[in-house]
Amino acid sequence: MSIEIAKQWLADAVATVNAKDHHANMDLISQRVNLLGVPGHETISYEQWSSQCKHEFENNILKSVRYEGLKIIAEKNPASCLKLTKPLRLAMAK
């Protein structure tokens, strides 16, 4: 995976989240995904991720989101190919 492809994917993810476009956002995610690193969960599935995103979009929980500090750490192992070197930034709606 090239850094340009990864940056475009992140830009698309940010745009769809900030637009609260659940369908377009989830179209960026493989249905075979298991997400690691979610506080309180060992992993979450695509269905769990989709449900959580839909809940957050419909209830206006997120004000905005952005990513920074992308680093490719393994191009040959898709299970660990992207790492954000700075935290994900979420602005929560009041």
Tell me the residue range of the domain where 78 lies. 3-92
- pTM here is 0.71
pLDDT, position 87: 46
pLDDT, position 71: 67
Residue with the bigger pLDDT between 64 and 71: it is 64
pLDDT, position 74: 58
Number of domains in the chain: 1
Rounded CA separation 11/4 (Å):
10
pLDDT in tens, 24-63: 999 999 898 887 777 788 888 999 999 999 999 999 998 8
Domain of residue 86, CATH code: 3.10.450
pLDDT, position 94: 52
Residue with the bigger pLDDT between 77 and 54: it is 54
DSSP secondary structure string for all residues of 28-82: TS-TT-EEE--TT-SEEEHHHHHHHHHHHHHTT-EEEEE---EEE--SS-GGG-E
What is the average pLDDT value for the chain, to the nearest integer? 79
